[in-house]
Amino acid sequence: MDNNNVLVTGAAGFIGYHVCKNLLEEGYHVIGIDNLNSYYDVDLKNARLKNIKDCVAKIKSSWNFYKTDITNKEYLIEIFNKYRPKIVINLAAQAGVRYSIANPDLYVESNIVGFTNILECCRNFQIKNFLYASSSSVYGGNTNIPFSEKDSTNHPISIYAATKRANELIAHSYSHLYGIPSTGLRFFTVYGPWGRPDMAPMKFTKMIFNKKTIKVFNYGKMSRSFTYIDDVVEIIKLFINKPASGEKFFDTKNPNSSISWAPHKIFNIGNPDNVNLLDFIKILEKEIGINAIKELSPLQPGDVVDTSSDCELLNKYLGLGPLTAIDKGVKELVAWYKYFYNLES
């Protein structure tokens, strides 16, 4: 029986919350999975879930949430068996570059074992479209700027990046062996309302409001393709309607690792307008109306100096228009932060 069931893992996370809410508003039946781990503030994850519930009550859409770990294969099978989703979006992962240096085992568990469990379910339940989160961190030691999908990703500089690259390789092998259409999404510093407190945009916002010192690594000589959450959601929605297909004329003698004869593709999901970290802080200061206290510090192990996204492939494939400008995105982030933490004057 045909259905419009979409299964989203990491549903209480930053990107997962926005994706679920948006798909529910579009009329999809969404099945959310999250283990609600305490890597960062669990209250924020619960608040996101409550916000989804409130939205579901208003628009009377179909939402089922399961608090479980993607390493729990038996329970995953039960959930897949019950809902038989056609589309699976895997966003659950242990995120964070720096945390992975001290806790590699957590990353292997969630990002390798959990990820493979999801793929096993995709295989056994004949999923028609599998989308999964990869990361710009896979570019590691590559210094070709901007990062293009054609660049080498063989030199990861953190365990986190290595697990994300491993996801791409494992997904490719499943696509080849079982014909599962799969698309890897290399996200570049996603920010916006309901964001992640461990990432610079939310962290800096909090520090500026609380008049605390911001450690600016690599003495500020860093830049990021800050990518606004609404753009990411729109891109994911376009991919839902465009399952990956194999390339008929794939050149196996000169292989481009982002495409394949198998139905597997990889794309950069990043705003092409790269922003220097100190400029980003200036935009935040202006929006908040408070000057930041900055401490210029050395580069942290595992950190990439510049992450800049080449979007040519994505633009060609999806026919995208311009993405959200940084000052508009920061305005939305700060407005939400004030509302959520009761800082309205």
Ligand X SMILES: NC(=O)c1ccc[n+]([C@@H]2O[C@H](COP(=O)([O-])OP(=O)(O)OC[C@H]3O[C@@H](n4cnc5c(N)ncnc54)[C@H](O)[C@@H]3O)[C@@H](O)[C@H]2O)c1
Query: What residues line the site for ligand X (CB under 6 A)?
Result: 9-10, 12-16, 33-37, 45, 69-71, 91-95, 110, 114, 133, 135, 187, 189-190, 196
Shortest Cβ distance from residue 17 to ligand X (Å)? 8
Minimum CB distance to ligand X smaller for 76 or for 292: 76
Q: Which is nearer to ligand X, 165 or 196 (CB)?
A: 196
- The total number of residues shown for the chain amounts to 345
For residue 289, the minimal CB distance to ligand X (Å) is: 26
β 29-34/182-187 pair status: unpaired
User: What value, to the nearest 5°, has the Cα angle with vertex 257 and ends 252 and 89?
Assistant: 130
User: Would strands 275-276 and 223-224 be described as parallel, antiparallel, or unpaired?
Assistant: antiparallel
Quick one: which of 98, 164, 106 has its CA closest to 132? Answer: 164
The residue among 39 and 178 lying less far from ligand X, judged by its C-beta, is 39
Which H or E run contains 66? strand 63-67
Closest by Cα among 262, 280, 266 to 138: 266
Give the closest residue to 138 by CA, choosing from 202, 203, 185, 180.
185
**Which residue number is nearest to ligand X in terms of Cβ?**
13
**Active-site residue set:** 160
**Minimum separation from the CB atom of position 37 to ligand X (A):** 4
CB of 250 to ligand X, least distance (A): 26
Burial 172-209 (b: 16+ CB within 10 A, else e): bebbeebebbbbbbbbbbbbbbbbbebbbbbbbbebbb
Q: Residues with Cβ < 8 Å from 237, sequence gap 6 or more? A: 22, 23, 26
How far separated are the first and last CA of the chain, in Å rounded? 53
Q: How far is the CB of 268 from ligand X (least distance, A)?
A: 11
**Which helix (H) or strand (E) covers residue 190, if one does?**
strand 190-191
Phi first, then psi, for residue 148 (nearest 5°) are -115, 150
Taking the least distance from each CB to ligand X, the nearer of 131 and 216 is 131
| Beta carbon nearer to ligand X, 108 or 318 | 108
Q: How far is the CB of 248 from ligand X (least distance, A)?
A: 31
Question: Distance between CA atoms of 106 and 113, rounded to whole angstroms?
Answer: 10
